[in-house]
C-alpha cells in the first residue's frame, strides 16, 4: 500500500523558491579587495540564477549536459550552483588546484560542453585548449566584459548573456534522482575519480546540516564560505545557506589568511567552514598582526579535512569564546559523514575528556549508517572504541559508483562505501579515525597510527606543523618518519622523543627519524601530502629526500 | 543523466537505528499517576519495537495491512509507531474523541485487521464490536495481562506477545513511498476523511522540525508530548524526538492540565507541544494552584490548532521567560505547514510589532510551497498582507488524495491542497489566516473575519474564552454572533462593544449578539466547535439556542 502524498521532488530549486520568497532581502556578499565588497540580495540572486538557466538553454545546454566551472568563491559562481542544475544540466566544478593534465582529464571525462571561467583562469584555459579539449564548444567569462584572449573558440560574456535572458524564466519539476553536479576526487593511484551528485542527495544533506546538533546553520547567521566552491559543492554550504536564508559571505579570488581575518572583522562573521590548515593559518595571521584583531562575532568554526589540533581548538575558545567543531566528510559522501556534537549526557566531563571527544570525528548525520569491519575477515566489529578496521558508510547521499570507472568495485561493496579510512567507533557512536588505510603503518606486525602521532607532536609548543608517514624498512617492513615544521628553531629530535614518551606512546611507535622542514607538502585541498613525502623517500632514498624536502 | 548515489530509502526505521546506536541511554518517560513514572531507555525501546514487528508477523500481519490503535500517549503506543510501519504495515491511530459511530466508520474504512487497545478502551471496543467490525480479527490489550472482558474475538496480551518475540528481528529496506500510517480528519459535512502517510513524508517532515528556526528540537531537550498520539502522528513529535535523541515524556491516560504542571516540575521539561486551549488551561491551573509553581525549565511552547491569544503568550513570557511559538498544520499535511520564526531582519521591532508577528501562522517549512488564490477567479494573489483568498499548499508531505473518497476532487486541485483556510501572506512570507473558509462571515457583501474578532475579544481582561460565528440574517444574509465565557461575572455586552470599537473595528463588524455561556462547545481535537454553535442556532432559533448553550 502506497502513501497518498504528492510526489513532489526534492530539487535544489525548492531552496531558490524559499530565498526569493522568504529571504529576498537577505544578502550575499563577495569580497572584491581590501575593504571592498560586492553586495546584492537573494532577490537579485534568484532572478540572476533563473536568467542563467535561460541563457544556458539559449546556448544549447539541456538536460544531462555537463557545464564546467573554473572559478573562485564569488556570487557568479554561486549563481551557477543553481542556474545550471535548475535546467537539469550538470555542474562540474573543476578543481583549480589540480595540475593542468588532471584538469584536462576531468573535463574530457565529464565531457563538458561549456566552460564558465574567471578572468584569471583564461590563460589556463588557453593552455588546456592547446592540450586539446574535444568536447568543449564555447567558453563563458564570468565578468562584465571579455578581455583580450587567445582562445580559439566562441567566447561569451556572462553579464551580456544574463542581460539578454529572461528573468521570469522558471525551473520545472523533474526527477529528484537527476544529476545536479560532478566533482572529481584525487586518487591514491591513477587518474581522478568522478562522483555524480543528485538533486535528492544535495537537498537531503543540506537539510541535515541545518538541523540542530549538526552544523545548525540558521537565518541569523553571517556565514563565511572559506572552503573552495570547486571542492565538493563547497561542502554544501551554499545550499544550506539558501535553505535557511543565512547571510552568505564569499571571499573572492586568491584569499589569504589575513584576508579572512579582515572579512570576519568587516562583516561580523558568525560562522565559517575551512580546512584545518586554514584555521591554523588564521590563528597565525592574528598573532602576526600588528594590532589586536576582533573575531568575537565568530561562534561556529567548522574545520574539516583532518582532525584539528587541541592547540588550535583551545586558542579559538580562549581568545574568542569560539568552539571549533570538527566535521568529517569526503567527496564521495556529498560530502558530510559526521559532525561533532557534545551529548547532554556527556557534558559533565572535565576539560580533557571533552577535548578528547572534540577530537573525534563526531556522530554520523541523519539518514547515514556507519560500520567498521575487520580488514581481513571483513566482519563487522563492535562499537567498543578499540576494535579498529575499515570504516564504511551508506546513505542516500553516498556515491554508489565512480563515473565510468572500474575502481568502483574497490570502494562500493554490497551497498556500502568503503571510505578508505581506518578507525573505530566508541560505545556512544563517536567515530575515531586512526588513519587513511593507505597511510596506516604496519611495523613488525603492529599497526601504528600516524594521526595519533601527529596530534601529539602538534601539542609540543615548538611545533607549527607535523606529519608522520611510513617508510620502507628492511627489518620491520615499515617504520614511522616525522616531518616537522618548528615554530622555534631550538627544537631538537630528542625533545620530540621525550615529548611523545611523556604523552604515553610506547617506544616502538616513536619515529626513528625526525626531519625538520620549512613546510610540509600539501595536496590540492590543503591536506598533508603523505603520498608525496613517501614518494620522495622511496624514489630518492632518505638522505637525498632530506635535501628535496628542504630538511635542515 | 542520473546522479550516482545509493538509492537508500527514507524509512522511519533509519531513526530507530540512530536511537539504538547513538542515543541508547536516553530515556522515554511515561506518567503512570501522581509522582509515578515508567522509565526506560531508547535501547529498550528499540528492542521492544523490533519485537513488536516480529509479533505482528506472527499474528499474520504483513505489508499493507492496517493495524488500529485506541490508546493514550504512553511508551507502548510509541512502540507501535515504529513496530507496525517497520514491517511495512500501516498504523491507523483511531481518534479516542470521535463518536463510536465515527470510530466504527474509520475502522471499517481502513479495514483494520487488528486493534491494539488500552485497558480502559475495552468497553468501547466491545460496544464497537456490537455494532459490527467486519474486518477486525483480533484485539491486543496494551498491558501486562488481559483483564476480564466480553469480547467475542481472540484477545492477546501485548507483553506476552513481546516476550515471545525475537528481539534481534530486523526491519528490512523497502520503498519509501510505502504507507506508514493513516489518520482520519473530521469533515465539515459527512464522514471523516482518511489520510495515508508515507515513510518518506514522515522522515522529511521530522527533518524539517529538527531544523534550526523551525521546532529546533535537539538532543538535550526534555520534550513533553501533550498533543494526542491518536491525532495526526502526535504532530510528528515522536519521530522528531527519535531522530534527535531527545528525552521524550508521555503524559499517559486522561491527563489533566494540573497533571501537565506536575510533569513539567517533576521532570524539568524544556519543550512541549499542545493545543492552544491546553496552553490556556495550564496557565489557569498554575493560577489556581495553592502554591507557586516552577515552570522555569520550559523554553519552547509550541501551541497549535488555532492562534494563541496575546494574553497567553505574554503570560508565559512574563512568568517563565518561555516563548510561545505558533505552529500551523493540518492532518492532510503530516501535519506541519508553518512555524513561527522571528527573522533577524525584523528583530528590531517594538514589542507590539513582534507580538503581531507572533500571532501570524509563521513561515512555510522547507520543501513546502504556499499560495493564496482569489476565491472566485482562482488566480494567485500577491503577497501584500492584504489580498485575502483560499490558502493552498504543496510538498512531499501533503496528501494527494483522501483514502477512497470522492471529496478528493474538492480539496486536491492541480497538484495543490486547498487547505480550507482563508488568509493572506505578507511580503516577508508570514502567513496570516483569517478564518476557515466555512467560518468566514459574508455580511452585506463584506467579509468579516471571526478570528480577528475572537483575538480581540480574548484580550479583554474579563474574558476567559470567546468565539464568533455567522448566523443567518434576513437583511444581511449573515451577521456575527459572539459566545463568550466571562472570567468576571460583571462583564456586559456594552463593555465588549466598546472594547471592540476601541480595538479599531468598524461598527459593521461588531457582533449583534453576545451570548455569555459557561463554556464554548469544542471539537474532538479541542478547537471551538463553530459548526455545533451554528447548528444549534439554525435548528432551534436564537432564543432556544441560548438555553441550549446555557447562556445566562
- Cis before A387? omega within 30: no
The strand ranges marked E within A430-517 are: 431-436, 441-443, 446-448, 463-473, 477-486, 513-516
Inspect the interface and report whether the beta carbons of B207 and A208 lie closer than 8 Å. yes
Nearest-Cα residue of chain B relative to residue A22? B429
Strand (E) or helix (H) holding B161 = helix B158-164
Can you give the pLDDT at residue A525?
Answer: 66
Nearest Cα neighbor of A530 from A419, A433, A407, A440 is: A440
Residues of A carrying an active site annotation: 185, 332, 442, 447
Answer yes or no: is pLDDT of B188 > 60. no
Summarised one tens digit per residue, pLDDT across range A90-109 is: 999 999 988 899 999 999 99
Cα of B196 to nearest chain A Cα, Å: 5
Residues of chain B contacting A366 with CB distance shorter than 8 Å: 14-15, 18, 207, 210, 243
Residues of chain B contacting A18 with CB distance shorter than 8 Å: 364, 366
Inspect the interface and report whether the beta carbons of B178 and A1 lie closer than 8 Å. yes
Inspect the interface and report whether the beta carbons of B22 and A364 lie closer than 8 Å. yes
* Torsion angle of C-alpha atoms A392, A393, A394, A399, degrees rounded to 10: -90
Answer yes or no: is pLDDT of B101 > 80. yes
Pairing of strands A416-425, A431-436: antiparallel
What is the rounded distance in angstroms from the CA atom of residue B176 to the CA atom of residue A177? 14
> Residue A497 is placed in which grid cell?
622523543
Nearest-Cα residue of chain A relative to residue B178? A2
Residues of chain A contacting B398 with CB distance shorter than 8 Å: 5-6, 8
Inspect the interface and report whether the beta carbons of A10 and B367 lie closer than 8 Å. yes
Contact B369, B394 (CB under 8 A): yes
Inspect the interface and report whether the beta carbons of A8 and B198 lie closer than 8 Å. no
Residues of chain A contacting B10 with CB distance shorter than 8 Å: 204, 367, 396
Nearest-Cα residue of chain A relative to residue B213? A218
Residues of chain A contacting B217 with CB distance shorter than 8 Å: 212
Return mean pLDDT, chain B. 92
Residues of chain B contacting A426 with CB distance shorter than 8 Å: none
Inspect the interface and report whether the beta carbons of A211 and B213 lie closer than 8 Å. no
Report the residue from B23, B344, B364 with minimal CB separation from A219: B344
Looking at residue A23, what DSSP letter applies? S
Can you give the pLDDT at residue A187?
Answer: 64
Summarised one tens digit per residue, pLDDT across range A106-149 is: 999 999 999 999 999 999 999 999 999 999 999 999 999 999 99
Inspect the interface and report whether the beta carbons of A415 and B383 lie closer than 8 Å. no
Q: CA B322 → CA B306, B313, B503, distances in Å? A: 19, 9, 27
Burial class (CB in 10 A: 0-12, 13-18, 19+), A43: middle
The strand ranges marked E within A365-453 are: 369-373, 389-394, 412-413, 416-425, 431-436, 441-443, 446-448
Report the residue from A25, A403, A428 with minimal CB separation from B345: A25
Which are the contacts of B141, defined by CB distance < 8 A and separation ≥ 6?
Answer: B117, B118, B119, B122, B147, B149, B155, B156, B157, B158
Cα of B228 to nearest chain A Cα, Å: 22
Cα of B202 to nearest chain A Cα, Å: 10
Beta-bridge partners for B371: B392
Could you tell me the domains of chain A? 13-255 (3.40.50.12780), 335-436 (2.30.38.10), 441-549 (3.30.300.30)
Inspect the interface and report whether the beta carbons of A219 and B341 lie closer than 8 Å. yes
Q: What is the pLDDT along chain A (552 residues), one digit of tens a residue?
A: 999 999 999 999 999 999 999 999 999 999 999 999 999 999 999 999 999 999 999 999 999 999 999 999 999 999 999 999 999 999 999 999 888 999 999 999 999 999 999 999 999 999 999 999 999 999 999 999 999 999 999 999 999 999 999 989 999 999 999 999 999 987 656 789 999 999 999 999 999 999 998 888 999 999 999 999 999 999 999 999 999 999 999 999 999 999 999 999 999 999 999 988 889 889 999 999 999 999 999 999 999 877 788 888 989 999 999 989 988 999 999 999 999 999 999 999 998 899 889 889 999 999 999 999 998 899 999 999 999 999 999 999 999 999 999 999 999 999 999 999 999 999 999 999 987 777 778 777 677 888 888 888 988 989 988 999 988 887 777 889 999 999 898 999 999 999 998 888 888 889 989 999 998 888 776 778 888 888 888 888 888 888 878 876
SS3 of B265, please? helix
- Count the neighbouring beta carbons within 10 Å of the beta carbon of residue A117: 24
Inspect the interface and report whether the beta carbons of A22 and B429 lie closer than 8 Å. yes
Nearest-Cα residue of chain B relative to residue A393? B6
**Residue indicated by cell numbers 622523543:** A497
Inspect the interface and report whether the beta carbons of A343 and B208 lie closer than 8 Å. no
Residues of chain A contacting B223 with CB distance shorter than 8 Å: none
The arithmetic mean of pLDDT across residues B59-67, rounded, is 98
Report the residue from B6, B9, B401 with minimal CB separation from A398: B6
- Cis before A411? omega within 30: no
Q: What is the pTM of this model?
A: 0.89
Nearest-Cα residue of chain B relative to residue A199? B3
Nearest-Cα residue of chain A relative to residue B332? A5
The strand ranges marked E within B251-291 are: 271-275
Amino acid at each position: 500500500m502506497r502513501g497518498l502524498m504528492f510526489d513532489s521532488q526534492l530539487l535544489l530549486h525548492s531552496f531558490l523558491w524559499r530565498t526569493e520568497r522568504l529571504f529576498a532581502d537577505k544578502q550575499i556578499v563577495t569580497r572584491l579587495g581590501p575593504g571592498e565588497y560586492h553586495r546584492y540580495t537573494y532577490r537579485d540572486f534568484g532572478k540572476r540564477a533563473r536568467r542563467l538557466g535561460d541563457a544556458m538553454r539559449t546556448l544549447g545546454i539541456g538536460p544531462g549536459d555537463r557545464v564546467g566551472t573554473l572559478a573562485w568563491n564569488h556570487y557568479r559562481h554561486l549563481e551557477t550552483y543553481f542556474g545550471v542544475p535548475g535546467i537539469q544540466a550538470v555542474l562540474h566544478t573543476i578543481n583549480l588546484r589540480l595540475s593542468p593534465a588532471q584538469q584536462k582529464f576531468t573535463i574530457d571525462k565529464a565531457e563538458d560542453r561549456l566552460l564558465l571561467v574567471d578572468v584569471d583562469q583564461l590563460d589556463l584555459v588557453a593552455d588546456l585548449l592547446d592540450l586539446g579539449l574535444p568536447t568543449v564548444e564555447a567558453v563563458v567569462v564570468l565578468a562584465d566584459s571579455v578581455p583580450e584572449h587567445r582562445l580559439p573558440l566562441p567566447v561569451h560574456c556572462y553579464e551580456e548573456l544574463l542581460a539578454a535572458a529572461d528573468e521570469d524564466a522558471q525551473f520545472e519539476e523533474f526527477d529528484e534522482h537527476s544529476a545536479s553536479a560532478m566533482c572529481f576526487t584525487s586518487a591514491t593511484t591513477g587518474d581522478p575519480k568522478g562522483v555524480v551528485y543528485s538533486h535528492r542527495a544535495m537537498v537531503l544533506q543540506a537539510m541535515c546540516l541545518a538541523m540542530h546538533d549538526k552544523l545548525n546553520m540558521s537565518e541569523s547567521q553571517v556565514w563565511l564560505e572559506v572552503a573552495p566552491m570547486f571542492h565538493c559543492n563547497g561542502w554544501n554550504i551554499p545550499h544550506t545557506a539558501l535553505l535557511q536564508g543565512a547571510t552568505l559571505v564569499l571571499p573572492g579570488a586568491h584569499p589569504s589568511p589575513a584576508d579572512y581575518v579582515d572579512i570576519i572583522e568587516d562583516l561580523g562573521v558568525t560562522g565559517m567552514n575551512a580546512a584545518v590548515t586554514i584555521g591554523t593559518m588564521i590563528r597565525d595571521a592574528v598573532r602576526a598582526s600588528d594590532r589586536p584583531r576582533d573575531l568575537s562575532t565568530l561562534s561556529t568554526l567548522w574545520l574539516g579535512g583532518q582532525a584539528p589540533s587541541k592547540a588550535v581548538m583551545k586558542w579559538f575558545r580562549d581568545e574568542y569564546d569560539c568552539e571549533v567543531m570538527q566535521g568529517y566528510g569526503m567527496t564521495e559522501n556529498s560530502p558530510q559523514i559526521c559532525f561533532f556534537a557534545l551529548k547532554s549526557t556527556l557534558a559533565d566531563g572535565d576539560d580533557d575528556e571533552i577535548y578528547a571527544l572534540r577530537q573525534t570525528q563526531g556522530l554520523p548525520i541523519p539518514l547515514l549508517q556507519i560500520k567498521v569491519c575487520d580488514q581481513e575477515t571483513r566482519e563487522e566489529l563492535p562499537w567498543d572504541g578499540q576494535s579498529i578496521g575499515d570504516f564504511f558508510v551508506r546513505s542516500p547521499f553516498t556515491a554508489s559508483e565512480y563515473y565510468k570507472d572500474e575502481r568502483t568495485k574497490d570502494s562500493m561493496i554490497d551497498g556500502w562505501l568503503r571510505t578508505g579510512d581506518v578507525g573505530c567507533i566508541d560505545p556512544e557512536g563517536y567515530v575515531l579515525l586512526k588513519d587513511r588505510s593507505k597511510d596506516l603503518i604496519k611495523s613488525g606486525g603492529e599497526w601504528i597510527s600516524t594521526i595519533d602521532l601527529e596530534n601529539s607532536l602538534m601539542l609540543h609548543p615548538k611545533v607549527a606543523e607535523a606529519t608522520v608517514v611510513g617508510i620502507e624498512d628492511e627489518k620491520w617492513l615499515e617504520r614511522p618518519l616525522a616531518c616537522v615544521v618548528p615554530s622555534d628553531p631550538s627544537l631538537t629530535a630528542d625533545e620530540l622523543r621525550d615529548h611523545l614518551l611523556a604523552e604515553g606512546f610506547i617506544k616502538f611507535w616513536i619515529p626513528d627519524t625526525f626531519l625538520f622542514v620549512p613546510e610540509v607538502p600539501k595536496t590540492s585541498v590543503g591536506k598533508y601530502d603523505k603520498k608525496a613525502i613517501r614518494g620522495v623517500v622511496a624514489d630518492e632514498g632518505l638522505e637525498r629526500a632530506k635535501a628535496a624536502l628542504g630538511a635542515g
